[in-house]
Amino acid sequence: MTQPAFINPAILSWSRQRAGLSEAQVAKGLTVKTERIKAWEGGQSLPTFTQAQKWSVVAQIPFGFLFLKEPPQEHLPIPDLRTVGGVLSEKPSLNLLDTVRDVLRKQDWYLEYLQDHERSPLSFVGSFNSRSPVEDVVADIRRVLGVTDAFARMGYEEYVRALVSGAEDAGILVMRSGVALGNTHRKLDVSEFRGFAISNAMAPVVFINSADAPAARLFTLMHELAHIWIGSTGVSDGSSQSARQEEAFCNAVAGEFLAPELVFRASWVLDVCWEENLVPLAALFHVSALVIARRARDLGYISSDQYGSYYRRILQAYRDKGGGGGDYYRTAAVRNSTRLSKAVLAEAQSGRILLRDAGKLLGVQPAKLKAYGMKLSA
Residue 257: which residues within 8 A CB-CB, separation 6 or more? 138, 141, 142, 222, 226
Residue 355 and residue 238 in one domain: no
CA dist., res. 151 & res. 165, Å (int): 13
Residue 200 covered by a domain: yes
Handedness of CA 145, 146, 148, 150 (dihedral sign): negative
pLDDT at 83: 67
Judged by average pLDDT, the poorest of 84-88, 115-119, 226-230, 233-237 is 84-88
pLDDT at 242: 66
pLDDT greater than 70 at residue 162: yes
Residue 304 covered by a domain: no
Residue 297 covered by a domain: no
Query: Which of 217, 243, 258 lies at the terminal end of a domain, its last residue?
Result: 258
pLDDT tens for residues 185-243?
A: 899 999 899 999 999 999 999 999 999 999 999 999 999 999 999 999 999 987 776 66
CA dist., res. 209 & res. 223, Å (int): 13
Length, in residues, of the chain = 378
pLDDT band, residue 152 (cuts 50/70/90): confident
CB atoms within 10 A of CB 319: 11
Nearest residue to 23 via CA among 15, 34, 32: 34
> Would you state the torsion angle of the CA atoms of residues 104, 18, 190, 303, taken in this order, to the nearest 10 degrees?
-120
Residue 245 covered by a domain: yes
Residue 219 and residue 347 in one domain: no
Residue 93 and residue 62 in one domain: no
Residue 121 and residue 227 in one domain: yes
pLDDT at 239: 75
Pairing of β 195-198 and β 234-236: antiparallel
- State the chain's maximal CA–CA distance in angstroms: 81
pLDDT tens for residues 278-312?
A: 999 999 998 999 999 999 999 999 999 999 999 99
Whether 199 and 169 have beta carbons less than 8 Å apart is answered as no
Bigger pLDDT: 87 or 131?
131
Domain region containing 173: 83-258
Residue 164 and residue 236 in one domain: yes
Residue 272 covered by a domain: no
Residue 192 covered by a domain: yes
pLDDT at 273: 96
Residue 233 and residue 360 in one domain: no
Judged by average pLDDT, the poorest of 74-88, 132-146, 313-327 is 74-88
pLDDT at 237: 85
Nearest residue to 353 via CA among 339, 337, 341: 341
Nearest residue to 246 via CA among 262, 261, 260, 235: 235
Query: Which of 206, 228, 258 lies at the terminal end of a domain, its last residue?
Result: 258
pLDDT band, residue 274 (cuts 50/70/90): very high
Residue 156 and residue 209 in one domain: yes
CB atoms within 10 A of CB 353: 18
pLDDT tens for residues 35-54?
A: 999 999 999 999 999 999 99
Residue 63 and residue 137 in one domain: no
Query: Which of 212, 232, 258 lies at the terminal end of a domain, its last residue?
Result: 258
Residue 59 and residue 113 in one domain: no
The whole-chain average pLDDT of the chain stands at: 92
pLDDT at 312: 94
Judged by average pLDDT, the poorest of 10-19, 126-135, 364-373 is 10-19
CA dist., res. 15 & res. 94, Å (int): 10
Report the CATH number at residue 38.
1.10.260.40
CA dist., res. 140 & res. 134, Å (int): 10
CA dist., res. 166 & res. 124, Å (int): 14
pLDDT greater than 50 at residue 86: no
Residue 269 covered by a domain: no
pLDDT at 243: 65
Residue 155 and residue 90 in one domain: yes
Residue 171 and residue 28 in one domain: no
- Please name the helix (run of DSSP H) or strand (run of DSSP E) that holds residue 88, with its range, or none: strand 87-88
pLDDT at 377: 86
pLDDT at 57: 92
CA dist., res. 157 & res. 165, Å (int): 12
Number of domains in the chain: 3
Bigger pLDDT: 270 or 18?
270
| DSSP state letter for 63 | G
pLDDT at 88: 54
Q: What percent of the chain has pLDDT over 70?
A: 96
Strand partners, 195: 208, 236
What is the mean predicted confidence (pLDDT) over 355-370?
95
Residue 104 and residue 212 in one domain: yes
Handedness of CA 83, 85, 90, 94 (dihedral sign): negative
Residue 243 covered by a domain: yes
